[in-house]
Structure 1
Amino acid sequence: MGCSSCGITRRGFMKGGALALVGTSTIPSFLTRSVMAEMTTAAANKKKLVVLFQRGAVDGLNMVVPYKESNYYAMRPTIAIKQQEVLDLDGFFGLHPAMAALKPLYDQGHLAIVHAAGSPDTTRSHFDAQDYMESGTPGVKSTTDGWLNRALQAELLRGKPSAFRAVALGAQIPRTLEGKVPAIALNNLADFSVGGRGPKAAPISNAFQSMYDDSTDSLLHGTGEETFEAIKMLKAADPAQYQPAAGVVYPNTPFGNSLKQVAQLMKANLGVEAAFSDIGGWDTHQNQGNSNGQLANRLKDFSDSIAAFWQDMGTDAENVTLVTMSEFGRTARQNGTGGTDHGHANAMLVLGGPVKGGKVYGKWPGLENDQLNEGRDLKVTTDFRRVLGEAAYKTLGSKNLALVFPGYEVDPGDFLNFI
C-alpha cells in the first residue's frame, strides 16, 4: 500500500471487509488510506452507534408487556397480550409475541430494555415531541441542531474524520443529525442519491463537493477529492449486488431494506460511526389489535429487521450499540375504537456486543390508577437523555455530555450501566 499507483487485489482487499460493497478488483491505495484510516475515538475503537426512531409513538405497554400487573388487563380488555402468549423476560415483563426474533438476543445477553423511559416534557403533539427528542432539549424549540450531531462534536478527534462518519437512511438529514458535523442522507444505495437539508435529494457529486469545496485547506480539500472518488467508485460498483451473511434474510420492507444498507455501509469499513434510521406506523388510535393485527405487524417488521441486522454484522456486532426510541408512549387504557391515544412513558431497546443485556432496566412506576401520570399514562422514571447519554459516552466516546444535552446534567455516575 505504499504508492497511489499500486492496486489492491480482490483477495487482499477482502480483509478490509469492503468487497461485498465495492466489488471491484483493484482499488487505489490512496483511497483506502484516506477513507478508512481516519481516526476519531470511535473509529479507533471500531465502535458504531445505530439510532432507530419509532415515529408515531409506539405502545410500549404492548411492546414490553408488564404481564404481572392486574390493572394492565383491566384497562385493556380487548387489546392486552394474554399472559400465555407473552414471551417471558424476567417473570414480570415479557415481549409481544411478534417480537420473537429478539427473544434469543435477550436470552444471550445482547439485548437490554429500559422501561418507563421518556421525555419529561408533557406535550402530546407528535411533531413537538419528536423535535424535542431529536434535538435532545425537551421544551426548547430554539435548538438548531440534533443531539447525535453534538455527540459526534463531543467526541475526541484525532484527525480528519471520514465523510461517512454520520449516515442517515432517508431522503434528507434527520433532525437528530443536523449540526456542525457533516452528515450524509442516503435514500437508496442502489442509485446513491444523497439528500441535503431540503426536501429534494441532491446529486451525490453536488452534495459532496459542496461539503469540501469551501475549504481552503489543501489537505482537507485533497481528502475531500479522494472521498468523492471513493463514492464514485461505490456508485459504479452496483451496491444492489450486496449479499447479506449466509442465512440472513431481511424483511422486504422499507425498514428492513434500510437496516440492510446500514449493515452494508458499516461492513464496507468506510468510517461510519453513527447511523440513523426510522420506521413509522405506530400511531394506533383505532384497531390496534393484540397478539395479531396492526401493532403486531409493525412489531414483527421492526424486530425481524433488527435481528437480521445483528446477524448480518457477524463478529462486527461486538462493536455496535443500537438504541431505539419513540416520541412518547400510549395511554394505559384502551379507547373506544380498540386503540390507544397519546401517552407519556415508553420502552427503549438497547442492543449490542458490549450491552449487559438479559435485563429490564429502570424503575417501574406501576400501573394502578393512582400510579398513573395524569391518571392515564405510564409515568416517566428514566429520562431518555440518560439512556442516549450512556450510549454516546460509552460507544462514541462523547465525554462532554453538557454539550450533547445542554440544560440537563447527565452524570456518568447516574448511568443505568446497561453497557
Structure 2
Amino acid sequence: MNTTEQSCCPPRPTRRGLLRGAALAGGIAVAGSTVVTMSAAPAAAARSRASSVLVVLSLRGAADGLSLVVPHGDPAYYAARRTIALPADRLIARDGFFGMHPAMAPLLPLWESGRLAAVHATGLPMPNRSHFSAMEQLEDADPGSAERVGWLNRLIGAQPGATALEGLALGSSIPTSLLGPEPVMSFPDVDVVRIGGADGSPKRVQSLTTQWRNASTPMATAFRTAMSSVTDLSPAKAEPDNYPRYPQGELGNALASVARTLRADIGVSAVTVDSGNWDMHTGVGQADRGWMNRNATELSGCIAAFFADLGHVADRVTLVTISEFGRRVKENSTGGLDHGWGNVMLVAGAGVRGGQYYGKWTPLATTLDADVPVTTDYRSVLAEIVAARTTASTSAVFPGFKRERVGVMVGQ
C-alpha cells in the first residue's frame, strides 16, 4: 500500500469499543480470538443447516461507484473526470449506458450466467459525508431509533432458531449491523478458533465448563455459548482450505474462511466481511493502474474465487456489497475524489436476476460539489434480498420502511 492510501477511512472498532457496544446486547465472551455477544436469555437449539445465507461485503471508506460501474452513456462523467475517466471501449459487461471497470473481468462468468447484477444510484435517503455517522446509520437501518441494534441482528431474530453460529463477522470485532440482542460471533480466521489460555485440552475445557456451569449472569451465559460455539465450529476447521485460489490479502483470507464455514453446514445464515480502504481522495488512477485498479482487481478476484469455493452450498448463498456513501462526480486537484452520496451495489449468487443493471438514473452535473443523486434507498435492495431469500418479515428487519421494487431478485 502506498502513502496515498494511508489512514483515510475510519479505523475498525477496537475490542475495547466492542465490549462497550456489546454491553447493550447483554453479555460478551472471548474464547481465544473468537468473540461472542449474546442476550441474557439462552439461545435456542442450533439448526443443522441454513436454508439461505446472506453475505454482506462492506467496502469501507466509501467506494467510488462511478468507477466500479461506469455510466459511459452520461457525457457529464467524462467532462467531470478529465484524467481518471475510464474509456468506454475498455469497459466490460457493457450495455448502452453502463459498463464495469476492466479490472472486474473475473466477475464476467457470474454476470454472463445471470448470477451477478448491479444496482446504481443507491444510498442513504439524505447525504451524510461522515464515515462514522454514515456507517452507523447504514448498519442500524432504523432512522430515529435510540436502540443500537443492527439490521442483520434483527434479521437473525426474525427467523426461528437463533444461535451464536447464525451471525458471523469475519474480523476481530462485530460491526453495528450485527450488534443487538441476538447471539452472534466473530473471528479473524476459522483456523484460529480455539479455547484461550495455555492449551485447549479436554481437561482445561472441562474445568472451565464446570466453573461457569451454574452461574446465571449474562456473562456466564455468553461464556457457555462461546465454549459450545468453538466446539460447534469444528466441522468448519476440518474443511479443506482453498486459500491459494484467492488473491493474496486480507479479503481473500476472510472469504476463504467464510467459504469453509458455510461448506460445513453448521447453521450460519448471516455473514459480514470488510474490504478496505476505499477512501480515495488521491491517486484513483486509470483503467490499468492506480489505487482503484488494485482494489477492483482484488475485490472481483476474491468474489469470483469465493463462489467457486462454495461448492454444494453456492445455490444457497447471496452476496451483496455496500459502502457508507459514494464519491463526488468531479475529480479533485490531486486525481482523487472527495466524499459524495450515491453509489452502486453489487448483488451476486442465489436468487439474483443477473446480467443486468438496475436503478433509476439522474443525469450527472459537473460542478465541484456535484453528487450522484440517490434514486433507490439502499434498504430497498436489502429488503428485496431478505424477502426473496429468507422467512423474515421485512417490516421487522427494517422498521417503518416501505420498500420500493428494485427487481434485482427473482420473484420480487
TM-score by length of 2: 0.78
Name the SS for the 2:90 alignment partner: coil
Paired residues of 1:95 and 1:103 also in contact (CA < 8 A) = no
- 1:151 matched to which residue of 2? 155
- 1:262 matched to which residue of 2? 258
Q: How does 1:344-363 map to 2 (within 5 A)?
A: 344-363=341-360
* 1:394 partner amino acid: A
State whether structure 2 residue 285 is matched by structure 1 residue 289.
Answer: yes
Distance 1:209 1:122, change over 3 A: farther
Q: How does 1:191-230 map to 2 (within 5 A)?
A: 191-192=192-193, 228=227
Paired residues of 2:255 and 2:302 also in contact (CA < 8 A) = yes
Distance 1:228 1:297, change over 3 A: same
In 2, Cα distance between equivalents of 1:384 and 1:161? 26
Q: Give how far 1:227 is off.
A: 8.4
Paired residues of 1:132 and 1:141 also in contact (CA < 8 A) = no
- 2:317 matched to which residue of 1? 320
Distance 1:163 1:378, change over 3 A: same
Counterpart pick for 2:249 among 243, 249, 253? 253
In 1, Cα distance between equivalents of 2:101 and 2:237? 35
Q: Give how far 1:416 is off.
A: 2.8
- 1:6 matched to which residue of 2? none
Name the SS for the 1:380 alignment partner: coil
In 2, Cα distance between equivalents of 1:351 and 1:65? 18
Q: Give how far 1:188 is off.
A: 2.0
In 2, Cα distance between equivalents of 1:335 and 1:49? 36
Name the SS for the 2:310 alignment partner: helix
Q: Give how far 1:174 is off.
A: 1.0
Paired residues of 2:124 and 2:374 also in contact (CA < 8 A) = yes
Distance 1:215 1:106, change over 3 A: farther
Paired residues of 2:149 and 2:180 also in contact (CA < 8 A) = yes
Deviations, residues 40-74 of structure 1 (Å, cap 9, x unaligned): xxx3xx21111111010000001000112211111
In 2, Cα distance between equivalents of 1:210 and 1:67? 64
Paired residues of 1:209 and 1:228 also in contact (CA < 8 A) = no
Name the SS for the 1:392 alignment partner: helix
Q: Give how far 1:168 is off.
A: 0.6
Q: Give how far 1:123 is off.
A: 1.5
Deviations, residues 101-136 of structure 1 (Å, cap 9, x unaligned): 112211110001100000012211111111100111
Counterpart pick for 2:128 among 108, 123, 127? 123
- 2:56 matched to which residue of 1? 51
* 1:325 partner amino acid: I
Distance 1:229 1:154, change over 3 A: closer
Paired residues of 1:402 and 1:410 also in contact (CA < 8 A) = no
Paired residues of 2:164 and 2:225 also in contact (CA < 8 A) = no
Deviations, residues 363-395 of structure 1 (Å, cap 9, x unaligned): 1112245xx8x9501100000000111112222
Paired residues of 1:48 and 1:320 also in contact (CA < 8 A) = yes
Q: Give how far 1:205 is off.
A: 10
Paired residues of 1:187 and 1:194 also in contact (CA < 8 A) = no
- 1:29 matched to which residue of 2? none
State whether structure 2 residue 272 is matched by structure 1 residue 276.
Answer: yes
Higher mean displacement: 112-121 or 387-396: 387-396
* 1:402 partner amino acid: S
- 2:182 matched to which residue of 1? 181
Deviations, residues 252-310 of structure 1 (Å, cap 9, x unaligned): 21011000001010001110111111111100001111212111101111111111001
In 1, Cα distance between equivalents of 2:209 and 2:372? 45
Q: Which runs of 5+ in 2 are unaligned?
A: 1-44, 197-204
Name the SS for the 2:248 alignment partner: coil
- 2:10 matched to which residue of 1? none
Distance 1:410 1:154, change over 3 A: farther
Q: Which runs of 5+ in 1 are unaligned?
A: 1-33, 196-203
Paired residues of 2:61 and 2:277 also in contact (CA < 8 A) = yes
Name the SS for the 1:185 alignment partner: strand
- 2:335 matched to which residue of 1? 338
* 1:171 partner amino acid: S
Identity %: 39
Q: In angstroms, what is the RMSD of aligned CA positions? A: 3.2
Distance 1:415 1:194, change over 3 A: farther
In 2, Cα distance between equivalents of 1:285 and 1:169? 27
Higher mean displacement: 360-369 or 321-330: 360-369
Counterpart pick for 2:100 among 86, 95, 100? 95
Paired residues of 1:134 and 1:146 also in contact (CA < 8 A) = yes
Name the SS for the 2:403 alignment partner: coil
Q: Give how far 1:210 is off.
A: 11
Q: Give how far 1:142 is off.
A: 2.9
- 2:48 matched to which residue of 1? 37
Deviations, residues 375-419 of structure 1 (Å, cap 9, x unaligned): 5011000000001111122222211x22222232236xx353423
Counterpart pick for 1:377 among 359, 368, 371? 371
Deviations, residues 191-244 of structure 1 (Å, cap 9, x unaligned): 11699xxxxxxxx9999999997679xxxx9xx979845624756x89388333
In 2, Cα distance between equivalents of 1:76 and 1:286? 13
Q: How many residues align?
A: 354
In 2, Cα distance between equivalents of 1:209 and 1:36? 26
In 1, Cα distance between equivalents of 2:384 and 2:155? 11
* 1:335 partner amino acid: N
In 2, Cα distance between equivalents of 1:353 and 1:255? 21
